[in-house]
Each structure stands twice: as C-alpha cells, then as structure tokens.
Chain A
Amino acid sequence: MPIGQGHSAYGRYARNRGVNLWSFLPEGARSVAVQARTTDKRRMLVTPLGNSDMMGRSIIEAMSLEELASGRQPEIARELAEEMPKGPYEMYDPISYPGHKWGMTIDVNACTGCSACVAACYAENNLAIVGRERVHEGHIMSWLRIESFVPSPNEDGRAPNLYIAPILCQHCDHAPCEPVCPVFASVHTREGLNAQIYNRCIGTRFCENNCPYKVRRFNWFAPEWPEPMNLQLNPDVTVRGAGVMEKCTFCIQRITAAEIDARTEERELKDGEVITACAQACPTRAITFGDLNDQSSAMVKRRVDNRGRIYTMLPELNALPQITYLRSLYRTTEKS
C-alpha cells in the first residue's frame, strides 16, 4: 500500500487533500494489525485515465533482454511490420525543414512514473489546475500525462508488471489535427512543431477528435488563478481563455528565447541549449530533447545508440510522430 501521500498543511488548496496512511500508525510503530470493514460512505475515486488495458496496441512497448541481444523485434512490432502496407505512403514530396527540426527521444525503460515532468509542464506552461471534480468530468488540462497500463492476462507472464510512459503531443509530421482545422489554428511550423494558434482557434474541437494520441486539451471554462497563484504564472507563456484548444508546444518559448540569444550573439544554436521543462525535470533523464537535423545532438545519438529499442506510437496510422520511444526492457530469466 503506498504511503507518504496527502497533505495536512501547505496552503488552502492542498490542505486535507489525500491521506498519508502513515499518520494512522502509532508513534514509532513498525507494523500494525488492521481490520477492514465497509462503511456506507461513498467517495469518488478519480482518475484521468480510462481503460488500463492496452489492447495489444503499440502504445508502450517492452522487449526482453534476449530479444535486444539477438537483434529481434518484439512480437507486437513484428506483427505490425507484417500488417503495414508496403509503401509508397506519400502522394507528395516530403517537406524539408532547412533550419532546426525539433524532436524528442523518450526512454520508457528509464521512466519511473514519478510525474515530475507533469508538474514541470503545469508550472512552465501555465496549465489550469481544475480540481478533482472536474478531472472526474474529464476536463483535465495536462499537456503531458503519465500513462500506465497493466499487462493483459493473455500475455506470457514475462512482461513487465506495469507499462508506464509519459505521453505528450507527438508533433507528427503528418499531424491528423492539422488538415481538419477550418481556420488554420493548428499549423505546422518551419521547425517541425505542431503549433496551436490560440487567437485563431474557434473551438470546433475537430483536432482533438482526429488526434490519435488524444493529447489536445480544451478550455471548457476560463481558467482561474486566484491570488496569490497568479504570481506563479510564467510570464513567457500566455494564459488561454475559455473555448480554445491547447496542447504541448515543446516549450516553444524556451526554443525561441534560445534562438534569439544565439542570433544576438551571432552563432549557431548549440545542442543542449534548449531543454523542455519535462526533460529538465526528469530525475532519470528519460526524456531527451534536441534537433533532428543535427546528427551529433544527444537526442539523435540516443536513438542511434539504442536503435534496437526504438519505436513510435501507433505507427500503422502513418502520422510520423517526431517523438521516438525506446522500449522498456525486462529480464526473462528472473520471472519465468
């Protein structure tokens, strides 16, 4: 049973949110006998996640060390490779990105699910905190979420106990959200970002319908920043009003600031100069952000060094995500 959660102090919004089981124990106790009984009280159990079954989809993948050593792909990837139509997928020539092209590599194996990236994203990008009741309604505003799936019962028992990975906007090259927007609020930038223009957005929400990763968030109400929470807003990022769609920007404010710095100093942007809030906050360095056009960047190197483990989410949709995941690893000998 997890312990150490909940708040007893820490301001009017955090107080009495959650419970620390430790507080029930007598002073100095190491173990205690408990009796559980039902009460008639009902409490809302709120989770932002719906189904904990991955349904065999290529969302969070894992592979055994043997597979990695022998250079084999895991079963799900082999199946997908068989089913994928053999190109050509493209009607037009690919769009070239002459300057930077931003991308991300996420090592699922390194992710512990601590949610520091989620908290960092909230702080950096002025995300609205909606509270338990509205999360229950499905109005959560997180651009980045930690997804967790339990293995389905028919998996062979060697798979990990839990699949965990951070999921954010994949900044697809063929972004399904872009062509459906009637007003060009969802557009691709010249640096490969899938940008959202808040001023242009009229809130048709078609983009979220067509987003296969469901990472866009809609402002159901105008966000509120009661005193003194307004003081923690990041001045580099706008706050969004009611009725517009918002989403991960790859911390475009940090990219732009670094680019301006480089330009004023009349030099090229160096690798590692731009780091997104989530990558910065990750204690296990699971997230690496960088320029795909720079073959020496740490992000590209990480992909090359771990080429046996790379995969993209839901590749059969051919959305060409710019986030590449590295599969989680497990030992077969230990568990079977």
Chain B
Amino acid sequence: MAAAVETNLHPRYIDVDRQVQRAMAPGGLTYWMWVLFCAFLTALGIGFWTNQVYKGLGVTGLTEPTMWAPYITNFVFWVGIAHSGTLISAILFLFRVRWRTAIYRCAETMTVFAVVTAGLFPLIHLGRLWFFYFVVPYPNERYLQPDFRSPLVWDFFAIGTYLTISTVFLLTGLIPDCANARELATGWRKTLYSIFSFGWQGTDRQWRNFQMVYLLLAGFATPLVLSVHSVVSWDFAMTQLPGWHSTIFAPYFVAGAIFSGCALVLTLIIPIRKFWRLKEMVTIWHLDNLAKIVLLTSLIISYSYCVESFMVWYSQDPLEMTTFHQRYFGPQGYFFWIMVTCNCVIPLLLFSPRVRTNTVWLFVISIFVNIGMWLERFVIIAGSLATNTMPSQWRFYTPHVTEVVITIGSFGWFLMNFSLFAKFMPIVSMTEMKEGISWLRQAVRTSYPYRKAA
C-alpha cells in the first residue's frame, strides 16, 4: 500500500529534530522562484492600491449601493481564515487534543499572517486612507474620540487584540524551538534564532514558566476564537439592511471561519509536508482529523444556511423576502449556487475515509471550500447591498481590474509572508512533537489506512 511505504510507522525522537531542521535548510531555486512570484503579486497589488489612493475609489467597480463589495469580503475572508489557527493552537491545546502538535505551528503562523492581511483591507477600502487614525482613540486637541457605537470601532479593537495575542502566542511557542535551532545555526541565522529564543537555556524553572505562560496565553486566545468573528459579523448584523440584519450572524460566521480556516490549513500543510518531506511528522492521520473538522463545520454551515432562509420565510418580512429571492434567483444568483456547491455539497465527500486519507482529494476539496467561503461573504455583502430597501437604487456589483488585482495581491502577500516564515522558522513544533512521540507512534499505527494495511 502506497501510504504505508511513504510513512515511517516508528518515528523516533531524533527523527523529529532531523526532519524539522531539514525543512529549515536554505531554500532551493524552486522555493525562491515561488517566493519571488508571490512578491510579484504583492507588488502588483501595491501598485494598483497606490493608483487607487492617488485617483480615488472610483477606479474600482464599487458603485452607489454596493459600497463594500470586494474589499470587505476579503477582510472577512482573511479574518475568518485566522480563526482555525487559534482553534487548533489554543482550544485544542486546552482540551489536550494530541493531534494538534504537528500542525499547530503551521496553523498559528497562518493565523498571524491572515490577520495581518485582513487588517490591510479596512485601510484599502477607506476613501481617505491618510486619515485612518481617526478611528484610533488617541488624545487630540479637538477632544474627539471615535464613536463607540460603530461596529467599525469594535472591529479595530477586535482585530488589534487578536493580532497582539496571536503574535505573542506564536512567538512564545517558538522559544524552545528557536533555542534548538540556535545550537546548529551559524552566521546571521544564529543571531536570528538567538533573538527569538529570548535567552532560553532549557532550565527546569524556564520550562515550568514556559508551560504556565503558554497555558495562560491559550486561555486568553480561546475566547477570541468566538469573539473576534462575532464582532466582525456585527458589522453586518447591527445594520438594518435586509440580508444583513440577522441574529444568526455571529455563530454562523464563527462556524464559517473555522470551516474556511481548517480548509486553508489543509491547503498549506499538504504541499509543505510533500515538498519539505515532513510526512512522518504531519501524517495522514493528522490530515484525517483536520478533514473531520472541515466536515463538521461544513454541516454547521449548511444548517446555518437553512436556518437563515427559514427565518426569513417564517418572518414573512417583505424586504427580507425580496433580498433572499434575489440572492437565490436574481441576476447574480449563480454565486449563491456555486457557494452552496462548494460549502455544502463537495465537503460531503469527506464522509468517506478514503477521501479523508487521500492528499490529492483533500487538497482539491480544500480549494473548493476556500472559493465557496469567499463567495459566501461576497454573496452576503455585495448581494444584500445591491438589493436594498430602495428598488430604484438597485445595482449589482461588477468587478473592475483594480480590486481583482488587489485581491490576488493579498493572496500573494499572505503566501509570501507564510512561505518565508515557514522556511526560516520551525514549521513543526519540535518540542511538542518530542513530547508526544510515543503517543504519535501508537496513533499512526491504529489510524485508518495503516490499521487496514496491518
């Protein structure tokens, strides 16, 4: 059986260090070409953004009712992506779920860079970028403060808190691993790892403090998984636009966030374990577990769609009824049906253990989920705005090149940052892998394809 050949069923303590450090070896030509390609996309996005700031937002396809279409879609998408990282690194840590060890560093890195990317979009979409600091409560000569009734101010605090906690959490978890890497590295790399190991010596007292701090940070980060995306969803739920004004939004958005985030973890970890030969660390069994989360959240999402539609039908509110009718059968109704296919139908394949343990299938499904979740936000944001309360002001959004390039640029920016970090920092936690090595051995042997082979 192919899976059995590619996987060492008896990973040893020393294998962890060897394999993770092998992944950290200087990148080859392919790696740098990839990074350059991402950097090129980023530069393109920055170029178009500059043009937009210089000329005005009119260069985008945004129009009178659809004031928010692509940029806020990207914002919600990237914030959503971030959430699964915290779920995996914090909540699963608190619940002592062992399979998180191999993937949590990757997921957490994804979280930090996804939040960084998300944080750009409220800036990109501003009409007057140069006054963005008006949203920040700072002492000023005009005695003006931001309006704390506005969900956008809540957003500012939610994203700020999330970025702070997840960055500190990521860096804290890195300390023992950086100390490990420091021992072997030379030159500027040694300096880099020395800085990020914060003087780690591995003493008993340091380990004790480290464990305690890590536990506390996990505790801090856990409520953020629920709160940050709830706040983001209130950008919509707090308004009275039909299609936005709904109490289901907070749980619905959080489930969607974890759904899309876990899918993106799959998208990222599958190439990493293949190209950097980490299959013995990140086994099929880990991917299988991730896929189960994707499946579960997909079912929650499908249920949310049903409840959302049911509540609209049950209320018989004519404004809501019209908006939802347009969402399903309007001129841009195909977006909704693509979304349902990607988010509700295709993930059902994951019920099959064969699909869950096949990396190609998982990769393809995860891409579909990401497309579907991007479209979900787009359908909610652009679609509801287009079919607003004043029928004379209906106008559907059509994209222009600026926002398409900026959206692609944001993927380039995210992937560039992620790829650089993944190369220069241990992308699998050596410390935690070693802690759970015997347990990993047993779990791998008893998990599906190997159990079957045995």
Contacts of B390 in A (CB 8 A): 59, 167, 212-214
> A115 in the interface, Cβ–Cβ < 8 Å?
no
Return the contact of B241 from the options A52, A53, A149, A209 (Cβ within 8 A).
A209
> B149 in the interface, Cβ–Cβ < 8 Å?
yes
- Report how far A145 CA is from B132 CA in the complex, Å: 31
> A202 in the interface, Cβ–Cβ < 8 Å?
yes
Within 122-143 of A, Cβ neighbours of B (below 8 Å) are at: 134, 137-140
Contacts of A242 in B (CB 8 A): 55-57, 127-128
Q: In the complex the two chains form, is B389's CB within 8 Å of A317's CB?
A: yes
> B144 in the interface, Cβ–Cβ < 8 Å?
yes
Closest to B319 in A: A57
Contacts of B63 in A (CB 8 A): 137-139
Return the contact of A210 from the options B64, B134, B240, B318 (Cβ within 8 A).
B240
- Report how far A212 CA is from B284 CA in the complex, Å: 52
Nearest-neighbour CB distance to chain B for A156, whole angstroms, equals 19
Q: In the complex the two chains form, is A200's CB within 8 Å of B134's CB?
A: yes
Q: In the complex the two chains form, is B56's CB within 8 Å of A222's CB?
A: yes
Among the listed stretches A176-184, A250-258, A270-278, which one makes contact with chain B, having 4 or more residues with CB under 8 Å of it?
A176-184
Tally of contact residues, A, Cβ under 8 A = 53
Nearest-neighbour CB distance to chain B for A238, whole angstroms, equals 15
Known: A176-B239, A243-B57. A218 touches B67 (CB 8 A): yes
Q: In the complex the two chains form, is B391's CB within 8 Å of A202's CB?
A: no
> A173 in the interface, Cβ–Cβ < 8 Å?
no
Nearest-neighbour CB distance to chain A for B101, whole angstroms, equals 41
Closest to B131 in A: A202
Q: In the complex the two chains form, is B322's CB within 8 Å of A49's CB?
A: no
Give per-residue flags for B391-418: 1 if the beta carbon is below 8 A from chain A beta carbons, else 0. Answer: 1111100000000000000000000000
Contacts of A180 in B (CB 8 A): 149-152, 238-239
Nearest-neighbour CB distance to chain B for A294, whole angstroms, equals 31
Give per-residue flags for B308-332: 1 if the beta carbon is below 8 A from chain A beta carbons, else 0. Answer: 0000000000110010000000000
Known: A184-B147, A206-B150, A243-B56. A139 touches B64 (CB 8 A): yes
> A314 in the interface, Cβ–Cβ < 8 Å?
yes
> A332 in the interface, Cβ–Cβ < 8 Å?
no
Contacts of A67 in B (CB 8 A): none
- Report how far A245 CA is from B128 CA in the complex, Å: 10
Nearest-neighbour CB distance to chain A for B143, whole angstroms, equals 11
Return the contact of A49 from the options B67, B126, B131, B392 (Cβ within 8 A).
B392
- Report how far A139 CA is from B235 CA in the complex, Å: 24
A-B residue pair count with CB separations less than 8 angstroms: 160
Within 39-77 of A, Cβ neighbours of B (below 8 Å) are at: 49-57, 59
> B110 in the interface, Cβ–Cβ < 8 Å?
no
Contacts of A317 in B (CB 8 A): 240, 389
Known: A183-B146, A243-B57. A209 touches B152 (CB 8 A): no
Known: A204-B152, A243-B57. A55 touches B238 (CB 8 A): no
Q: In the complex the two chains form, is A210's CB within 8 Å of B239's CB?
A: yes
Contacts of A139 in B (CB 8 A): 58, 63-64
Give per-residue flags for B53-77: 1 if the beta carbon is below 8 A from chain A beta carbons, else 0. Answer: 0011110001111111000000000
Closest to A186 in B: B147
Nearest-neighbour CB distance to chain B for A315, whole angstroms, equals 12
Known: A139-B63, A243-B57. A204 touches B392 (CB 8 A): no
Nearest-neighbour CB distance to chain B for A239, whole angstroms, equals 14
- Report how far A217 CA is from B126 CA in the complex, Å: 15
Nearest-neighbour CB distance to chain A for B313, whole angstroms, equals 16
> B430 in the interface, Cβ–Cβ < 8 Å?
no
Contacts of A200 in B (CB 8 A): 134, 144
> B194 in the interface, Cβ–Cβ < 8 Å?
no
Q: In the complex the two chains form, is B64's CB within 8 Å of A214's CB?
A: yes
> B135 in the interface, Cβ–Cβ < 8 Å?
yes
The residue among A59, A140, A182 with the most chain B CB atoms within 10 A of its own CB is: A182
Contacts of B319 in A (CB 8 A): 57
> B385 in the interface, Cβ–Cβ < 8 Å?
yes
Nearest-neighbour CB distance to chain A for B399, whole angstroms, equals 13
Nearest-neighbour CB distance to chain B for A260, whole angstroms, equals 24
Return the contact of A206 from the options B57, B66, B152 (Cβ within 8 A).
B152
Closest to A207 in B: B67
> A112 in the interface, Cβ–Cβ < 8 Å?
no
Return the contact of A203 from the options B127, B153, B238 (Cβ within 8 A).
B127
Contacts of A222 in B (CB 8 A): 56
Nearest-neighbour CB distance to chain A for B204, whole angstroms, equals 49
- Report how far A147 CA is from B390 CA in the complex, Å: 10
Q: In the complex the two chains form, is B388's CB within 8 Å of A179's CB?
A: no
Contacts of A49 in B (CB 8 A): 392-393
> B100 in the interface, Cβ–Cβ < 8 Å?
no
- Report how far A203 CA is from B127 CA in the complex, Å: 4
The residue among B65, B319, B389 with the most chain A CB atoms within 10 A of its own CB is: B389
> B356 in the interface, Cβ–Cβ < 8 Å?
no
Return the contact of B240 from the options A50, A212, A244 (Cβ within 8 A).
A212
Closest to A136 in B: B63
Contacts of A149 in B (CB 8 A): 391-392
- Report how far A195 CA is from B152 CA in the complex, Å: 20
19 contacts between A and B (CB under 8 A): A50-B65, A50-B394, A56-B318, A57-B389, A138-B63, A176-B240, A180-B149, A180-B151, A181-B150, A182-B150, A201-B127, A203-B127, A204-B125, A209-B385, A212-B389, A219-B127, A241-B128, A242-B128, A243-B129
* 7 cross-chain pairs, A with B, having the tightest CB-CB distances, nearest first: A203-B127, A138-B63, A243-B127, A220-B58, A50-B394, A205-B67, A51-B391
